Chains A and B, each alone.
Chain A
Amino acid sequence: MTERAETQSISGEHYNFAYLDEQTKRMIRRAILKGIAIPGYQVPFAAREMPMPYGWGTGGVQVTAAVIGKDDCLKMIDQGSDDTTNAVALRNFFVETTDVNTTTKTKDASIIQTRHRIPEEPLTKEQVLVYQVPIPEPLRFLEPRETETRKMHALEEYGLMHVKLYEDIAKFGHIATAYAYPVMVQDRYVMDPSPTPKFDNPKMNQMEALQLFGAGREKRIYAIPPHTKVVSLDFDDHPFEVTEFEQPCAICGAESVYLDEVILDNGGNRMFVCSDSDFCEERRDAGYVGHPGTNPLEAEGND
């Protein structure tokens, strides 16, 4: 479903390509190069105010704006879905300011900006995955002072993070962190993978695509180059475990994918469906059906 904006609106003519001015892009580009050279290390950058509120992905937008070119094909997802508010708003922003092609198909995209999911389809080395990050510092909730967390990263002093995971085990019997699960990048920096579900952590390891992370409010950029070792923190006797679902996707029957819970009625009925809307659509087109036998989206009374 590749589509091109028919006309460029007034705003497109009055702003620079991709909204940011060239000096800002250079500054962001320099930070991206540093981030790539030091995988997992948070590079400070002079994040600009963007025409959207903090929390909407201003960091990811600035990274994408610095990277995107007129021949790129952009996919924008929010919690795996192409058609949720955040994804639609940011996609329109880039269509207006760059006039690039957009797509919902993971494999057609050259840049994928994501809010909190990694597509189910494996990415390739021609692709760039841009994450929107709210709080880039994995140690922030354990140590509020930036001067201290900087020192902890400098000294590789990550004991506190292990204590936090251990406290989970002491309290709940297992590591209860289900998203923003801390990872160790290339045996050096502990990194926040942004609030992606821990289900996605293994995909970060040795990924073919370049991964860039932008935090606008916190003014940090970091990166994972392709083929980089990314290990979820754990203990020998409590190894990292991926979330498992009891049933497959109700719409396409996919197993071993991340599912969203959908409440169906007031009677407590619910179903689980793929969080990755493109992946689910592709499978439906290929003829897969879920266990209810019919597509719940086409059920009676469902417009």
Chain B
Amino acid sequence: MNTQTASSIFSKAPAPGMADPVHDAQSVFRSAMNALAQPGTVQQLDDLTLSPPAPLSVAATALVLTLCDYDTPLWLDPVLAANEAVRNYIRFHTAAPFVVSPAEAAFALVSAPGLLPAIASFSTGTAEYPDRSTTIILMVDELYENAGVTLKGPGIKTGKQFSIAPAPAMFWRQMQDNSRLYPLGVDVILAGTNQVAGLPRSTKITGLEA
């Protein structure tokens, strides 16, 4: 201990979590709840003073800190899993156990749509317990209302235009396949820079971009 100065210890410590864990988590949860209850609407997060290690975005980090703990096995995409700073940060703040197999994960944190593995590799629940499925927190650059694919289903009055960027060709097909599994399937919470949107398994997707 006496060979290390205090500043060198602090320099290795993970960055702080939420400034106000109780109320920040509550407001982030409300945004996530509204996002899943009204699929395709972009929910703005309150200003959070989070400084997660790159490439984690504030929104994605806020969702992980709000929803994950020692009860929720977490799967990280290969890029995040190889990032020691990211692992340390999440481990320190949530104590969530990391899993290697996406099928064992309660949550999956994916840093870009292109890194999303096949939906079938995640847990999609069982016929008796469709809730025993993976919830995917997917980082994207931008979320757009009123453009792109058309979403229909619970939470949507008639039809809702929605798109994300980047959106690899495979992504919307994967989401379509996912909704066909209903009531099984995964739920996706999309995390923009400081915004969230929801794509629950109940949402039907039509009008794929060419």
Chain A interface (Cβ < 8 Å from any Cβ of B): 16-17, 22-23, 25-27, 29-39, 41, 43-44, 66-70, 125, 150-151, 153-155, 186, 188-189, 206, 210, 223-229
CA distance A36 to B154 in the complex (A): 9
Closest Cβ–Cβ distance, residue A297 to chain B (whole Å): 39
Contact A68 B127 (CB under 8 A): no
Q: Given contacts A34-B187, A37-B201, A70-B23, are A27 and B71 in contact (CB under 8 A)?
A: yes
29 A-B contact pairs sorted by A residue (CB < 8 Å): A25-B29, A26-B68, A29-B29, A29-B33, A30-B72, A33-B67, A34-B187, A37-B36, A37-B202, A38-B183, A39-B202, A43-B131, A67-B29, A67-B30, A69-B23, A70-B23, A125-B38, A154-B128, A186-B154, A188-B182, A210-B33, A225-B36, A225-B37, A225-B38, A225-B155, A225-B202, A226-B37, A228-B154, A228-B155
Using CB atoms, name the residue of chain B closest to A69: B26
Closest Cβ–Cβ distance, residue A37 to chain B (whole Å): 4
Contact B69 A26 (CB under 8 A): yes
Contact A151 B128 (CB under 8 A): yes
Contact A41 B67 (CB under 8 A): no
Restricting to B118-171, which residues have a CB under 8 Å from any CB of A?
126-131, 133, 135, 153-157
Restricting to B179-210, which residues have a CB under 8 Å from any CB of A?
182-183, 187, 200-202
CA distance A210 to B89 in the complex (A): 34
Contact A154 B67 (CB under 8 A): no
Contact A22 B131 (CB under 8 A): no
Residue-wise, chain B 89-117 has the 8 Å CB interface mask toward A (1 for contact) of 00000000000000000100000000000
Q: Given contacts A38-B130, A227-B154, are A30 and B67 in contact (CB under 8 A)?
A: yes
Q: Does B27 contact A (CB under 8 A)?
A: yes
Neighbouring A residues of B38 by C-beta, 8 Å: 125, 225-226
Q: Of B126, B133, B154, which is in contact with the most chain A CB atoms at under 10 Å from its CB?
A: B154
Using CB atoms, name the residue of chain A closest to B26: A69
Contact B202 A22 (CB under 8 A): no
Q: Does B22 contact A (CB under 8 A)?
A: yes
Neighbouring A residues of B201 by C-beta, 8 Å: 37-38
Using CB atoms, name the residue of chain A closest to B157: A227
Neighbouring B residues of A25 by C-beta, 8 Å: 25-26, 29
Residue-wise, chain B 54-97 has the 8 Å CB interface mask toward A (1 for contact) of 00000000000011110110000000000000000000000000
CA distance A17 to B71 in the complex (A): 22
Closest Cβ–Cβ distance, residue A40 to chain B (whole Å): 9
Contact A26 B67 (CB under 8 A): yes
Contact A37 B200 (CB under 8 A): yes
Closest Cβ–Cβ distance, residue A186 to chain B (whole Å): 5
Contact A36 B33 (CB under 8 A): yes
CA distance A200 to B187 in the complex (A): 30
Using CB atoms, name the residue of chain B closest to A16: B22
Checking A37, A189, A228 against B187 with a beta-carbon cut-off of 8 angstroms, the contacting residue is A37
Neighbouring B residues of A38 by C-beta, 8 Å: 130-131, 183, 200-202
Contact A33 B187 (CB under 8 A): yes
Contact A32 B155 (CB under 8 A): no
Chain B interface (Cβ < 8 Å from any Cβ of A): 21-23, 25-27, 29-30, 32-34, 36-38, 66-69, 71-72, 106, 126-131, 133, 135, 153-157, 182-183, 187, 200-202
Neighbouring B residues of A189 by C-beta, 8 Å: 183
Contact B202 A154 (CB under 8 A): no
Neighbouring B residues of A125 by C-beta, 8 Å: 38
**Known interface pairs A30-B106, A228-B154; 6 further A-B residue pairs with C-beta atoms within 8 A, sorted by A's residue number:** A33-B33, A33-B36, A225-B38, A225-B202, A226-B37, A227-B156
Using CB atoms, name the residue of chain B closest to A229: B154
Checking A17, A34, A154 against B22 with a beta-carbon cut-off of 8 angstroms, the contacting residue is A17
Closest Cβ–Cβ distance, residue A225 to chain B (whole Å): 4
Closest Cβ–Cβ distance, residue A48 to chain B (whole Å): 14
Checking B69, B128, B156, B182 against A23 with a beta-carbon cut-off of 8 angstroms, the contacting residue is B69
Contact A41 B36 (CB under 8 A): no
Neighbouring A residues of B69 by C-beta, 8 Å: 23, 26
Closest Cβ–Cβ distance, residue A197 to chain B (whole Å): 24
CA distance A273 to B123 in the complex (A): 52
Q: Of B135, B155, B157, which is in contact with the most chain A CB atoms at under 10 Å from its CB?
A: B155
Using CB atoms, name the residue of chain B closest to A226: B155
Q: Give the 7 A-B residue pairs with the shortest CB-CB distance, closest first.
A: A37-B200, A154-B127, A225-B155, A228-B154, A34-B131, A150-B128, A225-B154
Neighbouring A residues of B183 by C-beta, 8 Å: 38, 41, 188-189
Checking B71, B127, B128, B200 against A36 with a beta-carbon cut-off of 8 angstroms, the contacting residue is B200
